[in-house]
Amino acid sequence: MDSRRLCVIKIGGSLLRDSKSYLESAQKIREVFIENGYKTIVVVSAVKGITDKLIQVAKGSQEALRYVSEKYLEIAKELNSVKIIRRVDEELKRLEIVASAISGGGIDLSLYDLLLSFGERISKILMVGALEAVGVSALELHANELIVTNETFSDASIDYISTSANLEKLYSSIIDNPAIPVIEGFIGSTIDGRITTLGRGGSDYTATTIASLLNIDAVYLVTDVDGIMTTDPDIVENARLVRVMSYRESLEAALHGAKKINPKAFEPLEKFYSSKLIIGSWSRFGTEIVREISRDLWGPKVIMNRESQGVSYIAIVGEGTSSIPFIRRVLEIIDRNGIDIVGIQSYVYRPSLLVYVTPSYELKILRLLHKELFEGV
Amino acid sequence: MIKRIKIVVIGFGSIGRALAKVIALKRKTINNKYGILIDVVGVVDSKGMALKADGFDEYELLKLCEVPRSGVNLFKPYAYQGVDLDVLYNSTQPDVHIELTPSEYSSGEPGISNIIYAINRGVHVVTANKAPLVLKYREIMSSALSKGVEIRFRATVLGGTPFIDTLMSLRSHDIERIEGILNATSNFILTEMHEKLVDFNEALRMAQALGVAEANPTLDVDGVDAAAKMVIISNILEKPLKIEEIYRESISRVTLRDIIDAVRQGYIIKSITFFDVRGGKASIKIVKIPKSDLFAQINGIMNGVRIRSDATEIVFIGRGGGGIETAHSILDDVISIALHYS
């Protein structure tokens, strides 16, 4: 198999709600990728909301445990495979044992991560069932056997050397087989086999690690929106898709709280192999994130209003936004409209400009700057 | 010259699945190194079988690991309902029989019958099930000898290490005693009690949650498993013990108070299995040992054994029974047989 025909697809939890959504994702994987001659490695998240429920389970909520069990069993039953139902049932029984051990006393961190891991693990079993239901042969991989991490439970970092050895061994055994490997995101394990989790949004990190360690060119992050937007469309109705961003821009946006990508996901891409990230929904993949962008693509990419420690600010992210001409341009726009600001912050080595504002002007400045900088007026 | 070795796997719980996985990942490498191609031709659990005379490929082996417990009979198109060793053997003609059914110490079944069946069909046996060796060591070995087949069982004691092979190879030594921590589950529970200062029940729950202890932990907690291992060792040393002769103390009697008192005095509490080879006596006792003692450093799921002979002292430390480690021991036994008989 030519690694250029291989890609990684991460299915976000926002897409996984019920049996229909698993089948739809499976169908799309088939239509968009497999029927076009691509082989994929699929990384799955937990069903939407399940991780939060599992956190409640760790705090002793029987109701949350019931919710998780019923939700997953319902999906399994609708997929209508005896094998999948029995597998999910076995996992749920294990989950109950872990939950009862946790509620017994103080929370042990390794048990806590083990508990959270059931969300993704069961989701993976369901995705394999859904792929098989639409006629695609699929194979479960196990993150706890492949993704080796340090011992920072709940926010673990991946040990790339051990993980790469595991991935290569597996790769050579399964790559010639047409079956689609499916792995759960967000999960890893310590060298001595204790389950860890990679922190919120950790499935992106799993996906980029696998891609970069296996030299795979493209990572599709599939979610319920068409891509990264220039700003929050609920605030600015003319918000539009960002076509291309660099890792640096995207990381900067993530650091200012754009929730698209876990910042850790960029580390393997910077270190080993610069796979392209393609973000979007099954109807449209609107945004590409690449290692570097050419000079003519410099400029503001994303603008957002944030708050940090009680201070409101507008963050403008993009290569060139920390240059003097750009800062001057922004200040002129604000000044021309007779608005006061609290301050600005920018470092030449970071692709962002922060404009501190009084809360009453926040949305006004956001809309104004979006209009002037993004809407081509 | 490639030698093909056809194996059947009887019992498909966590060890069987780990074995299928390891074979899927390593059979090509093993073939390149030793010219031995391992073909899994049959997998059996309590409800049914999956049979493929020319061997499951890597993908199928990994896919087999996805069947639910006792669900091999769902593995289409190779599924067979019910267990019938005649059908298994006649349709697959195995070279090696891997016995991974659970250890059951009152009757030894189904392990004993399965192993005797394999021997009578002239098929080599690798077993991780201890019970047949514990109850019928001599009978099994002598009938294997008469049929010219090998019985290998590295996975039964310190399953993640080559302890058994080493012990067997110490032919010139006069072994005086063997002692150590032979059960990973009870050692894990005691370690938890020391490190987290929790009582036995809570430590047990933790062990069950992590999959270190089974739902019914009696065999491990009450020392039956450790005693069984000592019976196997005693047979290797030709000083056979019976399992019921071995004195046992259960770690369920250890209280948190005991632990705290011991730690205050500079000791820790361990479950130590001891075999006085000359005296022909063995026991499993809950003992206080100094913190500086070697066995005090062996914690969690690790096992450790000290062999003392008239010439030397040897210590083994390693995983007792992790799935992947045990699977490698089984696989090493299969490769040894293949090399020996090729």
For residue A319, give Cα distances in angstroms to A29, A271, A294: 34, 21, 10
Asked, for residue A21, whether it belongs to a domain, the answer is yes
Tokens of B257: 């108070």
Is residue A77 domain-shared with residue A213, that is, in the same domain?
yes
A139 to B63: CB separation less than 8 angstroms, yes or no: yes
Looking at A171, A189, A224, the residue that finishes a domain is A224
- How far does B113 lie from chain A, in Å, by closest CA? 30
Total number of domains constituting chain A: 2
User: Catalytic site residue B229?
Assistant: yes
H-run or E-run covering B267: strand B267-276
A334: domain CATH number is 3.30.70.260
* A266 domain residue, yes or no: no
| Type of residue found at A304 | M
Smallest Cβ–Cβ distance between A97 and the set B66, B198, B209 belongs to B209
A86 shares contact with chain B (CB less than 8 Å) = yes
Q: Both A10 and A128 in a single domain?
A: yes
From B76, B229, B281, B285, the catalytic residue: B229
**Residue contact B58–A82, C-beta within 8 A:** no
- Give contacts of B 26-65 with A, CB under 8 A: 28, 57-59, 62-63, 65
Does residue A290 lie within any of the structural domains? no
- Shortest CA gap A42–chain B (Å): 16
Say which CATH number the domain at A136 has.
3.40.1160.10
Please check whether residues A78 and A212 belong to one and the same domain. yes
Nearest-angstrom CA–CA distance, A96 and B322: 22
Q: Evaluate whether B19 touches B331 at the Cβ level (below 8 Å).
A: yes
Tell me the two tokens of residue A195: 């389950």
- In terms of CA atoms, which chain A residue is nearest residue B25? A173
Residue in B with minimal Cα distance to A91: B68
Q: Which residues of A59-72 are buried (b: 16+ CB within 10 A; e: fewer)?
A: eebeebbebbbebb
Residues A154 and A22 grouped into a single domain = yes
Task: Note the helical H segments in B210-315.
Answer: 218-221, 224-236, 256-264
Residues in chain B within 8 Å Cβ distance of A114: 209-210
Is residue A131 situated within a structural domain? yes
| Domain end residue (candidates: A200, A224, A248) | A224
What domains appear along chain B, each with residue ranges and CATH number?
3-160+323-340 (3.40.50.720), 165-319 (3.30.360.10)
**If contacts are CB pairs under 8 Å, which of residues 68-107 in chain B contact chain A?**
68-69, 71, 74
Question: Is A230 within a domain?
Answer: no
Query: A146 lies in which domain range?
Result: 3-224
Partners of B208 on chain A (C-beta within 8 Å) are 97, 101
Q: Which of A173, A191, A224 is the last residue of a domain?
A: A224
**Which 302-331 residues of chain B touch chain A by CB within 8 A?**
322
Show pLDDT as tens, one digit a residue, over chain B (342 residues): 789 999 999 999 999 999 999 999 999 999 999 999 999 999 999 999 999 999 999 999 999 999 999 999 999 999 999 999 999 999 999 999 999 999 999 999 999 999 999 999 999 999 999 999 999 999 999 999 999 999 999 999 999 899 999 999 999 999 999 999 999 999 999 999 999 999 999 999 999 999 999 889 999 999 999 999 999 999 999 999 999 999 999 999 999 999 999 999 999 999 999 999 999 999 999 999 999 999 999 999 999 999 999 999 999 999 877 889 999 999 999 999 999 986
Q: A179 in contact with B at a CB cutoff of 8 Å?
A: yes
A119 and A218 inside one domain: yes
**A90–B contact, CB cutoff 8 A:** yes
Q: Which residues of B touch A102 (CB under 8 A)?
A: 209
Residue A256 domain-assigned?
no
Contact assignment for A139 to B202 by CB distance below 8 Å: no
Contact A84, A72 (CB under 8 A): no
- The answer to whether B69 contacts A90, with C-beta atoms less than 8 Å apart, is yes
* DSSP 3-state of B278: coil
Say whether both A220 and A320 belong to one domain.
no
Pairing between strand A187-189 and A195-197?
A: antiparallel
A129, closest residue in chain B (CA to CA): B66
Other residues' Cβ atoms within 10 Å of the Cβ of residue B67: 22
Contact A53, A194 (CB under 8 A): no
d(CA B339, CA B150) in angstroms, rounded, equals: 12
Q: Where are the alpha helices (DSSP H) in B93-250?
A: 111-120, 131-147, 163-169, 184-196, 200-209, 218-221, 224-236
Please indicate whether, in this complex, the C-beta atoms of A101 and B69 are within 8 angstroms of each other. no
In this prediction, residue B2 carries a pLDDT of 85
Per-residue pLDDT of chain A (377 residues; tens, 9 = 90+): 455 589 999 999 999 999 999 999 999 999 999 999 999 999 999 999 999 999 999 999 999 999 999 999 999 999 989 999 999 999 999 999 999 888 655 678 889 999 999 999 999 999 999 999 999 999 999 999 999 999 999 999 999 999 999 999 888 877 778 899 999 999 999 998 999 999 988 999 999 999 999 999 999 999 999 999 999 999 999 999 999 999 999 999 988 877 668 889 999 999 999 999 999 999 999 999 999 999 999 999 999 999 888 899 999 999 999 999 999 999 999 999 999 999 999 999 999 999 999 998 899 999 999 999 998 75
- Using a CB-CB cut-off of 8 Å, the residues of chain A touching B209 are 97-98, 100-102, 111, 114
Q: Answer yes or no: is A61 within a domain.
A: yes
Residues of chain B in contact with residue A173, where contact means CB-CB under 8 angstroms, are: 24-25, 28, 58, 62
Contact residues on chain A for B65, CB-CB shorter than 8 A = 140
Query: Is A18 part of any domain?
Result: yes
Residue A14 is predicted with a pLDDT of 93
Nearest CA in chain A to B18: A145
Q: What is the pLDDT of residue A260?
A: 66
Please check whether residues A7 and A128 belong to one and the same domain: yes
| Closest partner CB to A104 (pick from B58, B66, B205) | B205
B151 min Cα distance to partner chain A (Å): 30
Provide the token pair at B134.
């514990």
Instruction: Tell me how close the Cα of A139 comes to any Cα of chain B, in angstroms.
Output: 6
Our CA-based measurement puts residue B63 at a distance from the nearest CA of chain A, in whole angstroms, of 6
Residues of chain B positioned with their CB less than 8 A from the CB of A101: 205-206, 208-209
ipTM: 0.90
**B66 Cβ under 8 Å from any chain A Cβ:** yes
Output the pLDDT for position A259. 66
Residues A53 and A193 in one domain: yes
